[in-house]
């Protein structure tokens, strides 16, 4: 027993020492800082030293290595253990391999044992770790030797040697370029380690013999020492400033005098069978007017068996954010002011950040904008008109929040975010993805389908009928720009947020009109029109339309209470009455939707390949570039760039014009051969069906040819005239062809057949400036 514990402590000691030893060893030989222990850096150091120097270091390294090896083996397993390091031919072996060296131990009977023969797991791990370290050091020695060999083969003269050193460096440069490209490619596509190994082997056999192994390429190294332990899990802090520096471009800095940031957080449960919570904090450059697009980056990540405690979770974040608020950020020698604009999160995450009572039966005070007190019945807390009357709510402000004027709303501890210069009420907008699309729209449909006695109940037969209509007709009319293709409402339970969004803003209007009762359709239109106004930048600037949206949402809430009862009015429904104010402050709904963050969260989820060591895996993926790709902010130009034309029609080139079927612009695709991708609205209001795309090479101009619809009228008149929000009924296509410049096109439209004889279509302009269409959420 005693001997066993002695052995175990010796092993622990060895593991600790081994880290230090290897780095020390390499530093002693090459005199470079081992941290970051990047083999490429060391390789460069090897290349830059003279041949003689290298020869001396090689000898030194060999001696040190041998001594160290013996000492390590002795330290770990005692003098009695008979461990040997086997190499096939250590001095000549340049097989890059890990396979060229093996650690062997002789047992008491004199027979030899290999790694797989060791009986306990711990012993095997130590063995493995040790032999990896040794192999790595050996590999370095081999790399260095290879360069020497190139020198040797090219002649003995000094001039010749110098010339060849230049050749070796040039080869090295090529290898470095290849390594950079491979790292990006492996990271982008999440290529597995075994596939990476095979790909590298191919390159090695085809002219890149000294490519390092995949671990070195992906820069994966132990991060355990950088992970902080907290009371119920572990955390890793990447930082805000370094992410911002990686994201901004000179083009962005030239246009912006200050840097506005949005943050987001949410809890993930990556595994079905193991209880594990992952909470990342994400950040991106805030863009209210959609003039640029910025991909989120990771600021920190927590992993534990339960949710993190706000004080620990936000400690490093608040510390850095505060520093950025006071001192700004220095980029290329210029100091920029930093403002924290908003936190985009779902309701439970917002409650966690603000340390207030969230959704749930235990709390009657849930509204983040006013002091309304809800009522609890049938396991639901509802906020009906009676409650509004009884509690006479007042609106919250940053000041009333900080002074905790409604104590029952706040948790015992103060939010760490109070230290920041933010509005504790309005810096936390109601995110439309959670509140509207998977919140209210889904709940409305759930209610219509599931509550049997309810007014406007939808029977199973009707759902089948609607699904058939979708699968047989609508499916071929919805443009291909949406990330998910439309599917029948029989599988509505599986719908994602983007599908509910499309349903609310586009196809739902036709489905409700065709299949639902009039009262239900009118109720749906109130929500659909209000959300359309709140989503389009041009409408958001229109005060009259904004007050119309507020009015429509208020009527929608009252209407729902009358039709579906008080229990329908959960906190999300009540939030609708406050959402217009959020749009007034932060801009159109999509500027504070969680869609881009949600896409990034699903990337994090996918990045975890095995159950254990969550945090190490995430940090590893970030270092490999899979999660922290340096994607700079993309600026949008106010005018449309020239489209990329493909699918040329070869038969009909006439008068110096070439005809194409497909034109791709950053936000839309035009396809002349496909009805659903060929409908556009021009700036002068015409709805056009494009049948050809011509390029005039003399004028360097692209024109589209097609037919416009001659008749247009309102599709509905209540709650407002549909044409006010761009929705119209069109019919009678012109028999004469016309043409338009590509700059005349305002937007693409969804065109759905409403009546077949005479043919009438419902035409709804698409919103392109949102970045939501491509979202995976
Ligand atoms: Zn309220």
Q: What 8-state DSSP symbol labels residue 30?
A: H
**Residue 96 pLDDT exceeds 50:** no
Distance CA 175, CA 192 (A): 21
SS3 219: coil
For ligand 1, the distance from its centroid to the CA atom of residue 127, given in whole angstroms, is 63
For ligand 1, the distance from its centroid to the CA atom of residue 383, given in whole angstroms, is 9
**Residue 584 pLDDT exceeds 50:** yes
For ligand 1, the distance from its centroid to the CA atom of residue 370, given in whole angstroms, is 4
For ligand 1, the distance from its centroid to the CA atom of residue 361, given in whole angstroms, is 17
Cβ atoms within 10 Å of 539's Cβ, excluding its own = 20
- Spatial contact of 661 and 673, defined as CB atoms under 8 Å apart: yes
Confidence at 168, pLDDT banded by 50, 70, 90: very low
Distance CA 575, CA 429 (A): 10
CB burial of residue 76 (10 Å; 0-12, 13-18, 19+): buried
The DSSP bridge pattern shows strands 334-344 and 258-265 to be parallel
pLDDT of 411-457, one tens digit each? Answer: 999 999 999 999 999 999 999 999 999 999 999 999 898 887 778 88
Q: What is the mean pLDDT of residues 114-139?
A: 55
- Spatial contact of 241 and 329, defined as CB atoms under 8 Å apart: yes
Nearest to 88 by CA among 76, 77, 104: 104
For ligand 1, the distance from its centroid to the CA atom of residue 368, given in whole angstroms, is 6
For ligand 1, the distance from its centroid to the CA atom of residue 396, given in whole angstroms, is 9
For ligand 1, the distance from its centroid to the CA atom of residue 670, given in whole angstroms, is 44
pLDDT over 90 for what percent of the chain? 41
pLDDT at 51: 52
For ligand 1, the distance from its centroid to the CA atom of residue 537, given in whole angstroms, is 25
For ligand 1, the distance from its centroid to the CA atom of residue 581, given in whole angstroms, is 12
The DSSP bridge pattern shows strands 334-344 and 759-765 to be unpaired
Higher pLDDT, 149 or 302: 302
For ligand 1, the distance from its centroid to the CA atom of residue 10, given in whole angstroms, is 63
pLDDT at 94: 35
For ligand 1, the distance from its centroid to the CA atom of residue 759, given in whole angstroms, is 46
Look at 10-14, 109-113, 264-268, 769-773 and tell me which has the smallest mean pLDDT. 769-773
For ligand 1, the distance from its centroid to the CA atom of residue 572, given in whole angstroms, is 10
**Residue 497 pLDDT exceeds 80:** yes
For ligand 1, the distance from its centroid to the CA atom of residue 525, given in whole angstroms, is 23
pLDDT of 710-742, one tens digit each? Answer: 999 999 998 999 999 999 999 999 999 998 988
**Residue 360 pLDDT exceeds 90:** no
For ligand 1, the distance from its centroid to the CA atom of residue 415, given in whole angstroms, is 21
**Residue 167 pLDDT exceeds 60:** no
Distance CA 716, CA 728 (A): 8
For ligand 1, the distance from its centroid to the CA atom of residue 449, given in whole angstroms, is 28
Higher pLDDT, 611 or 58: 611
Q: What is the mean pLDDT of residues 17-29?
A: 48
For ligand 1, the distance from its centroid to the CA atom of residue 367, given in whole angstroms, is 5
Look at 9-23, 152-166, 538-552, 553-567 and tell me which has the smallest mean pLDDT. 152-166
Q: What is the mean pLDDT of the chain?
A: 79
My answer on whether omega of the bond before 116 falls inside 30° of 0, hence cis, is: no
Distance CA 192, CA 203 (A): 17
For ligand 1, the distance from its centroid to the CA atom of residue 571, given in whole angstroms, is 8
For ligand 1, the distance from its centroid to the CA atom of residue 613, given in whole angstroms, is 42
CB burial of residue 103 (10 Å; 0-12, 13-18, 19+): buried
For ligand 1, the distance from its centroid to the CA atom of residue 492, given in whole angstroms, is 30
For ligand 1, the distance from its centroid to the CA atom of residue 36, given in whole angstroms, is 52
For ligand 1, the distance from its centroid to the CA atom of residue 441, given in whole angstroms, is 19
Look at 68-82, 554-568, 608-622, 701-715 and tell me which has the smallest mean pLDDT. 68-82
pLDDT at 81: 46
Q: What is the mean pLDDT of residues 512-528?
A: 94
Higher pLDDT, 360 or 303: 303
For ligand 1, the distance from its centroid to the CA atom of residue 523, given in whole angstroms, is 21
For ligand 1, the distance from its centroid to the CA atom of residue 725, given in whole angstroms, is 27
Number of helices (H), then strands (E), belonging to the chain: the values are 26, 24
pLDDT at 108: 44
For ligand 1, the distance from its centroid to the CA atom of residue 374, given in whole angstroms, is 10
**Residue 95 pLDDT exceeds 50:** no
| Structure tokens belonging to residue 197 | 């190994």
Q: What is the mean pLDDT of residues 491-495?
A: 91
For ligand 1, the distance from its centroid to the CA atom of residue 315, given in whole angstroms, is 30
**Residue 176 pLDDT exceeds 90:** no
Ligand 1 ion: residues within 5 Å (CB): 367, 369-370, 372
For ligand 1, the distance from its centroid to the CA atom of residue 549, given in whole angstroms, is 17
Higher pLDDT, 19 or 462: 462
Q: What is the mean pLDDT of residues 255-275?
A: 88
């Amino acid at each position: 027993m005693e001997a066993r514990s002695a052995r175990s402590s010796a092993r622990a000691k060895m593991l600790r020492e081994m880290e230090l030893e290897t780095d020390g060893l390499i530093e002693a030989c090459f005199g470079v800082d081992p941290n970051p222990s990047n083999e490429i850096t060391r390789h460069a150091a090897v290349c830059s030293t003279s041949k003689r120097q290298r020869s001396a270091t090689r000898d030194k390294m060999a001696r040190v290595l041998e001594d160290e090896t013996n000492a390590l083996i002795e330290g770990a397993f005692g003098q009695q253990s008979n461990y040997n390091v086997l190499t096939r031919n250590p001095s000549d072996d340049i097989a890059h391999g890990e396979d060229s060296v093996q650690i062997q131990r002789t047992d008491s009977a004199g027979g030899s044992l290999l790694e797989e023969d060791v009986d306990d797991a711990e012993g095997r791990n130590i063995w493995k770790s040790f032999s990896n370290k040794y192999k790595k050091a050996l590999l370095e020695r081999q790399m260095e030797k290879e360069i020497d060999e190139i020198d040797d083969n090219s002649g003995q003269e000094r001039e010749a040697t110098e010339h060849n050193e230049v050749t070796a460096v040039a080869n090295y440069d090529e290898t470095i370029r290849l390594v950079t490209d491979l790292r990006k490619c492996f990271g982008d596509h999440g290529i597995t380690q075994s596939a990476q190994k095979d790909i590298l082997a191919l390159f090695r056999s085809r002219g890149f013999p000294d490519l390092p192994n995949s671990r070195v390429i992906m820069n994966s190294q132990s991060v355990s020492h950088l992970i902080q332990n907290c009371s119920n899990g572990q955390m890793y802090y990447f930082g805000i400033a370094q992410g911002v520096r990686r994201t901004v471009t000179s083009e962005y800095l030239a246009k912006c005098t200050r840097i506005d940031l949005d943050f987001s957080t949410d809890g993930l449960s990556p595994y079905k069978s193991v209880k594990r919570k992952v909470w990342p904090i994400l950040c991106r450059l805030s863009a209210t007017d959609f003039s640029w697009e910025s991909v989120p980056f990771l600021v920190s990540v927590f992993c534990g068996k339960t949710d993190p405690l706000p004080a620990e979770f936000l400690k490093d974040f608040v510390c850095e954010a505060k520093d950025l608020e006071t001192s700004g950020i220095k980029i290329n020698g210029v100091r920029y002011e930093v403002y924290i604009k908003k936190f985009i999160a779902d309701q439970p995450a917002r409650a966690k950040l603000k340390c207030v009572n969230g959704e749930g039966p235990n709390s009657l005070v849930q509204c983040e904008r006013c002091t309304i007190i809800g009522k609890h019945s049938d396991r639901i807390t509802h906020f009906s008109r009676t409650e509004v009357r009884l509690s006479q709510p007042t609106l919250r402000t940053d000041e009333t929040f900080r002074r905790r004027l409604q104590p029952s709303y706040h948790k015992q501890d103060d939010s760490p975010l109070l230290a920041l210069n933010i509005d504790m009420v309005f810096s936390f907008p109601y995110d439309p993805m959670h509140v509207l699309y998977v919140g209210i729209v889904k709940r409305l449909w759930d209610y219509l389908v599931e509550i049997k006695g309810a007014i406007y109940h939808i029977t199973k037969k009707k759902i089948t009928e609607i699904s058939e209509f979708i699968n047989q007709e609508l499916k071929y009319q919805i443009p291909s720009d949406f990330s998910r293709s439309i599917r029948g409402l029989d599988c509505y339970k599986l719908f994602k947020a983007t599908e509910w969004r499309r349903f609310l803003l586009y196809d739902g209007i036709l489905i409700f009109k065709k299949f639902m009762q009039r009262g239900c359709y009118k109720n749906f239109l109130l929500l659909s029109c209000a959300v359309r106004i709140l989503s389009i930048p041009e409408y958001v600037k229109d005060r009259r339309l904004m007050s119309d949206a507020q009015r429509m949402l208020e009527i929608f809430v009252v209407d729902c209470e009358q039709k579906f009862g008080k229990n329908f009015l959960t906190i999300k429904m009540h939030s609708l009455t406050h959402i217009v104010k959020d749009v007034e402050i932060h801009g159109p709904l999509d500027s504070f939707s969680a869609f881009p963050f949600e896409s990034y969260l699903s990337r994090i989820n996918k990045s975890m390949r095995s159950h254990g060591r969550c945090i190490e895996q995430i940090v590893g993926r970030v270092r490999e570039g899979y999660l922290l790709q340096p994607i700079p902010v993309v600026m949008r130009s106010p005018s449309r760039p020239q489209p990329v034309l493909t699918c040329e029609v070869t038969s009909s080139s006439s008068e110096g014009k070439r005809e194409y079927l497909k034109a791709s612009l950053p936000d839309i695709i035009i396809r002349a051969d496909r009805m659903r991708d060929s409908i556009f609205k021009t700036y002068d209001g015409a709805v056009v069906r494009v049948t050809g795309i011509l390029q005039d090479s003399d004028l360097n101009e692209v024109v589209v040819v097609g037919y416009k619809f001659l008749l247009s009228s309102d599709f509905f008149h209540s709650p407002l005239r549909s044409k006010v929000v761009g929705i119209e009924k069109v019919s009678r296509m012109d028999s004469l062809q016309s043409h338009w410049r590509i700059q005349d096109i305002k937007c693409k439209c969804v065109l759905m057949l409403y009546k077949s004889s005479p043919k009438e279509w419902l035409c709804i302009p698409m919103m392109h400036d949102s970045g939501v269409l491509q979202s995976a959420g």
